[in-house]
Structure 1
Amino acid sequence: MFSLPPTGGRARRLALTSGAVVLTGSLLAAGAATASAGAAPERQAGATVAATAQALGLDAKEQLVVKDTVKDADGTVHTRYERTYAGLPVLGGDLIVHRGADGAVQEVTKAVETTIKVASLTPKLTPTAAKSAAVKAAKAAKTTGATTGEAPRKVVWAVDGKPVLAYETVVSGTQEDGVTPSLLRVVTDADTGKKLYEQQLINDIAGGISAEGGSAAGKPGSPQAGAVGTGASQYSGTVSLNSTTSSKGFSLVDSVRGGSSTVDLQHRTGGKGVVFTDADNVWGDGTPGHNQTAAVEAAYGAAQTWDFYKNVLNRNGIKNDGRAPVSRVHYGNAYQNAYWDDQAFAITYGDGANNQHPLTQLDVAGHEFSHGVTSATAGLQYSGESGGLNEATSDIFGTAVEWNANNPQDKGDYLLGEKIDIFGNGKPLRYQDRPSKDGRGSADYWSAAVGNLDVHYSSGVANHFFYLLAEGSGAKDINGVHYDSPTVDGSTVTGIGRDKAVQIWYKALTSYFTSTTDYHGAREGTLKAAADLYGANSAEVDAVDAAWTAVNVQG
């Protein structure tokens, strides 16, 4: 989500999206996610997957489900699996098997090293009691209208190191701000009734959480005829927009990019909204007073983000399946946030203070879209250090989208949300060169306490790492913005360029990060990614090492 983080209290309340931040094991209910090119043979060959489980020495009750596969240029294949135990999803059971071009296993990366085994599959706690406990937890988290329509499901909770039988319940309602939707995932010990974990499945950018069901319009592969219109945006100037012809003239549905549609929620906080239409294919007038202006910005941001992933990272949409999410604007009244909802597969934007500053800026669009990508790949949990990495991943790719767009009205920079004026003083939401400049508690450097921070603040360590890796330390002016990035030990870091830094982070996310990766795991993963891309003895590997050391993440 791209909302303001809370000023105090429950850090875990912010769950930006790890795909609406679902725990990796939770995705099993919907089936395995799409794989990258070259993954089909293993995905289709159940015997191969079973043989992999046997080769890894897994218990006979354990099964693997392919979630994603990445194939390197040298033939190395990284296959990401989720795990079941006696048919139950294992939360924290995800792992990645790395095979050489000859098919031999080179390494295995596990979210947890613990052997998955529980004494009994018969819970002492009834589903009704688990449901009540989850609703109680939601109310304690200040959720109003807390309710759950679906029965809790049995899972194995392994994240904490000792696998236990548990119930997983999703409670819906409204968050403490009275506007942002809430989807709170609660994991309860199936024997004792103790709450093991809670996670907000709505991912916002500023630090509030929300979720709401109901996607709208625009299925991939729609037969509608495409057209190119123009739009006057508030932040990005006059832009080209792909639309489709309709009975009302034109609909803001991009048939070129997976059926991406832009929807008007009409200041409601529920419902599917209405796809924007226009008679002459000329949209908005550049002011927030025109209903279409925010739609122009959202549609432009969705297109630029899609193109960044497609052209720079060779990824065909969030799940690499060619399907685009819905962009929803005019949520609520003067709502100062934006969020990703994995279940609705949608990005939702508020109109900001006095409905004059919609959170539709280009880097916000990239940020929210990237929450979906994180969910579809590493599935980083949205709490602790993994939550900070989740949030930073969206900041990093949001920044990269802005640079890649090369828009003269919204130039590339290392500031997040610099145009949306979310604080009312013209300052950006976040600073990647020195995160603590936000004055709200973002961390410049790693410490043992970082994992206790709200994820929008613990993300500062990775944001700072990324800036140092791309641009280096010290004072400099880049694209008209002054930066002065310090290091924890006074060392000098020489950057390798933003393009390489982006490739390294994406490679680490898709090939080495798991649901439980922390900052030291991220250091290891990015070092391996740099070696894969540029060679084990390359200057890029040395730069990754130096940048992590500069933010106090030691080897």
Structure 2
Amino acid sequence: MLSSTSRRRTSHVSHRRTATVALAGVAALIAAAVQSGAASAAPAKPQAGKVNPAHVAVKLSPSQRAELIRHADAGKAATARSIGLGAKEKLVVHDVVKDADGTVHTRYERTYAGLPVLGGDLVVDTAKSGATKSVIKATNASLKVADLTPAVSKASVEKQAVQRAKALGGSKSAADSVRRVIWAGSGKPVLAYETIVGGLQDDGTPNQLHVVTDAATGKKLFEYQGIKTGIGNTQYSGQVTLTSTQSGSNYTLNDGARGGHKTYNLNRGTSGTGTLFSQTNDTWGNGTTSNAATAGADAHYGAAVTWDFYKNVFGRSGIKNNGVGAYSRVHYGNAYVNAFWDDSCFCMTYGDGSGNADPLTSLDVAGHEMSHGVTANTAGLNYSGESGGLNEATSDIMGTGVEFYANNSTDVGDYLIGEKIDINGDGTPLRYMDKPSKDGASKDSWYSGLGNLDVHYSSGPANHFFYLLSEGSGTKVINGVTYNSPTADGLPVTGIGRDKALQIWYRALTTKWTSTTNYAGARTGTLAAAGELYGTTSAEYKAVQDAWAGVAVGARSGGGGGGGTSYENTSPVSIPDNGPAVTSNITVSGRSGNAPSNLSVSVDITHTWRGDLVIDLVGPSGTSYRLKNFSSSDSADNVSETYTVNASSESANGTWKLKVQDQAAQDVGTINSWKLTFP
């Protein structure tokens, strides 16, 4: 959604940040980066990489995609056993992506004892030979729920959810549905209820509040809105070509070239599909609100350009990648200042704006909102916490991509979100990708409390990352707009171009991320994607590292501006719950003498209740250097720190190890990456 606090009420969801992102097996995907656990010094001037054709997703016909899904479905029991799932766990095929080298990325949902597992989604990468290459899980926690009988009643959790919906402006007195589930989105998996309450919020936005409640205690565990609302602008795209369907003497807004996408007129209604736009000539609207078909033409055009963008840029055939079009509804409600994507109807809906004078049917709104549908049918990023920020940023990023792709002289491409609508009445955009904080609420960089913000504001660092990766830092003018993008560490970032940045983001979204992916996991996923597409020694790979460092997520590549030489291991290592220590290695070679007295050790670990962790650096001699002690009172999530170690008694060359042990029960995590920097 495209949010504004000046015209509509927004809900600021505050909850414990989802931190555990299990990316086990990504090492196999980026093995070239750290052969045998060793990482080499980054070349001072890495060469721009060319896309590795082996790792490009092939365009699947609907029948080919259906066959791959049927094959995955037939083998799902064997797959579950091969990846170590328990006897009560079963897989449900959700989506499939196939690379040119025959690698198949199959996305699964999971059930436990017949119950859906929320936060149990995973991606299995299978080689052409059929061998499993890697598994990326939303959670590494073991699914072991001893008691599947709720201790609290369905009626009590329904009442709680309805009250919560009313607090957010809902109008219904009963829930639409209540079902038992296993909640695995954070911490230890537990039996829970998922309650969905529909109705309308106080600004007229349809409400599908999902509330997850612990079935043993009645405690609320999680909530999110199933409707992703947004604000568009009133700008028209000028005279454009529309694809319609003729039947006899009538034409309808039915795009048979794009999956049968249809555009309907709700005529101020708020339910159903309304009436399909139909008339006796093929010229739609007159450019003003005096003709109802004007909004229909804008919406129809936006849907067509978004379809073409995904097809021609990524080889994706429709939102679900199955060749089937969604549909659009315009003239929703009375003076409704919003637009939204709804998964349940698989449709886009547009209001007519304040005083019904400015239909919110712009091109970038279509790109933004329909991209929520793509996210829902790929990574399924939870619409809350850090994953919610990444969800919103994905729509901003893809909406920006759509705007540049259209190459429309009336609405030129830019890195400003909602720049034409003036929803705040002061001529400013809703959001700025080069410096998100200019909107007064979004954040430029990651920090530990980011997940507590409204998802439109926690999207800031990801939007900023995308801008830095595309265009680089500093001042520049693009299509007549002046940008000046800073970095969190004050060091420059060199952009790789928007086209490559889009490819990296999309590949991570479709093959690396899960519902619980947070910012640390987004970095790991985009690095894996960049490594597969362009190589792990390429300028593109290092730019991803530097752009994330520019928004305070992870360490620099060491290839520019840092003043030292860095060695990094980006192969994820799972940390078992209250188990033995695990290690991740970096082999340093080609240096002379001993290590410095100020050796920099940067650590990126996702782990709920980080106080459970003890972290050591082990030198080539076997000597351990304590980086972090156990602390029973430190309940915060994740370790993203840079430590300074006096390692002057160690030879610089040799194998260095990061040693991590979880010394308490109930929480698990992952070593995402770590890095040594020699000044």
2:199 aligned counterpart, secondary structure: strand
Q: Return the alpha-carbon distance in structure 2 between the equivalents of residues 379 and 149 of structure 1.
A: 22
1:67 aligned counterpart, secondary structure: strand
1:106 aligned counterpart, secondary structure: strand
Q: Return the alpha-carbon distance in structure 2 between the equivalents of residues 64 and 35 of structure 1.
A: 22
- TM-superposed CA distance for 1:35, in Å, is 8.9
- TM-superposed CA distance for 1:106, in Å, is 2.6
Q: Deviations over 1:344-370 (max 9, x none)?
A: 111111122332332211111000110
* Stretch deviating more after TM superposition (198-207 or 484-493): 198-207
Query: CA distance change for structure 1 residues 360 and 520 in 2, over 3 Å: closer, same or farther?
Result: same
Once the two structures are superposed, the pairs formed by residues 285-300 of structure 1 within 5 Å of their partners are 285-300=286-301
Q: Return the alpha-carbon distance in structure 2 between the equivalents of residues 525 and 370 of structure 1.
A: 19
Q: Deviations over 1:236-260 (max 9, x none)?
A: 1001111112466111111111111
| From 102, 113, 133, the counterpart of 1:75 | 102
Query: 2:158 aligned with 1:158, yes or no?
Result: no
* Structure of larger gyration radius: 2
1:492 aligned counterpart, secondary structure: coil
* Stretch deviating more after TM superposition (450-459 or 196-205): 196-205
Quote the residue 1:167 is aligned against. Answer: 193
Q: Return the alpha-carbon distance in structure 2 between the equivalents of residues 310 and 41 of structure 1.
A: 19
Quote the residue 2:499 is aligned against. Answer: 499
Q: Return the alpha-carbon distance in structure 1 between the equivalents of residues 418 and 546 of structure 2.
A: 28
Quote the residue 1:28 is aligned against. Answer: none
Query: CA distance change for structure 1 residues 39 and 269 in 2, over 3 Å: closer, same or farther?
Result: closer
Q: Deviations over 1:295-332 (max 9, x none)?
A: 11110000000000111110010111111111111112
2:400 aligned counterpart, secondary structure: helix
Quote the residue 1:17 is aligned against. Answer: none
Query: CA distance change for structure 1 residues 455 and 37 in 2, over 3 Å: closer, same or farther?
Result: farther
1:185 aligned counterpart, secondary structure: strand
Query: CA distance change for structure 1 residues 35 and 535 in 2, over 3 Å: closer, same or farther?
Result: farther
Once the two structures are superposed, the pairs formed by residues 47-126 of structure 1 within 5 Å of their partners are 48-126=75-153
1:147 aligned counterpart, secondary structure: coil
1:113 aligned counterpart, secondary structure: coil
Q: Return the alpha-carbon distance in structure 2 between the equivalents of residues 505 and 165 of structure 1.
A: 34
Quote the residue 1:451 is aligned against. Answer: 451
* Equivalent position amino acid for 1:329 in 2: V
Whether contact under 8 Å (2:14, 2:453) holds in the other structure is: no
Q: Return the alpha-carbon distance in structure 2 between the equivalents of residues 380 and 524 of structure 1.
A: 15
* Stretch deviating more after TM superposition (243-252 or 462-471): 243-252
- TM-superposed CA distance for 1:188, in Å, is 1.8
Q: Return the alpha-carbon distance in structure 1 between the equivalents of residues 231 and 237 of structure 2.
A: 21
Whether contact under 8 Å (1:243, 1:255) holds in the other structure is: yes
Q: Return the alpha-carbon distance in structure 2 between the equivalents of residues 374 and 9 of structure 1.
A: 21
Q: How many residues of Structure 1 are paired with residues of Structure 2 in the alignment?
A: 508
Q: TM-score, normalised by structure 2?
A: 0.72
Q: Deviations over 1:199-254 (max 9, x none)?
A: 111101249xxxxxxxxxxxxxxxxxxxxxxxxx9521001111112466111111
Query: CA distance change for structure 1 residues 35 and 547 in 2, over 3 Å: closer, same or farther?
Result: farther
Whether contact under 8 Å (1:234, 1:294) holds in the other structure is: no
Q: Return the alpha-carbon distance in structure 2 between the equivalents of residues 69 and 35 of structure 1.
A: 12
1:118 aligned counterpart, secondary structure: coil
Q: Return the alpha-carbon distance in structure 2 between the equivalents of residues 317 and 412 of structure 1.
A: 22
Whether contact under 8 Å (1:335, 1:351) holds in the other structure is: yes
Q: Return the alpha-carbon distance in structure 1 between the equivalents of residues 9 and 364 of structure 2.
A: 26
* Equivalent position amino acid for 1:115 in 2: S
**Matched-pair identity in %:** 60
Q: Deviations over 1:267-295 (max 9, x none)?
A: 22233211111211111111233211111
2:323 aligned counterpart, secondary structure: coil
| From 191, 200, 213, the counterpart of 1:188 | 213
Whether contact under 8 Å (2:255, 2:261) holds in the other structure is: yes
Query: 2:380 aligned with 1:354, yes or no?
Result: no
1:240 aligned counterpart, secondary structure: coil
Quote the residue 1:31 is aligned against. Answer: none
Once the two structures are superposed, the pairs formed by residues 366-515 of structure 1 within 5 Å of their partners are 366-439=367-440, 441-515=441-515
Q: Deviations over 1:436-463 (max 9, x none)?
A: 1112x11111111111110001101100
| From 196, 204, 223, the counterpart of 1:198 | 223
Query: CA distance change for structure 1 residues 101 and 535 in 2, over 3 Å: closer, same or farther?
Result: farther
Q: Return the alpha-carbon distance in structure 1 between the equivalents of residues 339 and 241 of structure 2.
A: 23
Query: CA distance change for structure 1 residues 419 and 13 in 2, over 3 Å: closer, same or farther?
Result: farther
- TM-superposed CA distance for 1:47, in Å, is 5.1
Whether contact under 8 Å (1:146, 1:173) holds in the other structure is: no
Q: Which runs of 5+ in 2 are unaligned?
A: 16-60, 556-679
Quote the residue 2:318 is aligned against. Answer: 317
Q: Return the alpha-carbon distance in structure 2 between the equivalents of residues 183 and 392 of structure 1.
A: 21
Whether contact under 8 Å (2:68, 2:96) holds in the other structure is: no
- TM-superposed CA distance for 1:166, in Å, is 1.2
Whether contact under 8 Å (2:231, 2:360) holds in the other structure is: no
Q: Return the alpha-carbon distance in structure 2 between the equivalents of residues 430 and 332 of structure 1.
A: 26
Query: CA distance change for structure 1 residues 159 and 149 in 2, over 3 Å: closer, same or farther?
Result: closer
Query: CA distance change for structure 1 residues 351 and 42 in 2, over 3 Å: closer, same or farther?
Result: closer
- TM-superposed CA distance for 1:42, in Å, is 5.7
Whether contact under 8 Å (2:404, 2:413) holds in the other structure is: yes
Q: Deviations over 1:54-82 (max 9, x none)?
A: 11111100001121121222332221111
Query: 2:169 aligned with 1:142, yes or no?
Result: yes
Whether contact under 8 Å (2:158, 2:174) holds in the other structure is: no
CA RMSD between the two structures = 2.1
Once the two structures are superposed, the pairs formed by residues 274-285 of structure 1 within 5 Å of their partners are 274-285=275-286
Whether contact under 8 Å (2:3, 2:10) holds in the other structure is: no
Query: CA distance change for structure 1 residues 64 and 35 in 2, over 3 Å: closer, same or farther?
Result: farther
- TM-superposed CA distance for 1:136, in Å, is 2.2
Quote the residue 1:18 is aligned against. Answer: none
Whether contact under 8 Å (1:3, 1:339) holds in the other structure is: no
Quote the residue 2:256 is aligned against. Answer: 255
* Stretch deviating more after TM superposition (388-397 or 59-68): 59-68
Query: CA distance change for structure 1 residues 45 and 204 in 2, over 3 Å: closer, same or farther?
Result: closer
Query: CA distance change for structure 1 residues 527 and 45 in 2, over 3 Å: closer, same or farther?
Result: closer
* Stretch deviating more after TM superposition (238-247 or 542-551): 238-247
* Equivalent position amino acid for 2:191 in 1: L
Whether contact under 8 Å (2:2, 2:456) holds in the other structure is: no
* Stretch deviating more after TM superposition (42-51 or 501-510): 42-51
Q: Return the alpha-carbon distance in structure 1 between the equivalents of residues 86 and 487 of structure 2.
A: 46
2:536 aligned counterpart, secondary structure: coil
Q: Return the alpha-carbon distance in structure 2 between the equivalents of residues 8 and 497 of structure 1.
A: 36
* Equivalent position amino acid for 2:12 in 1: A
Once the two structures are superposed, the pairs formed by residues 320-335 of structure 1 within 5 Å of their partners are 320-335=321-336
Whether contact under 8 Å (1:494, 1:543) holds in the other structure is: yes
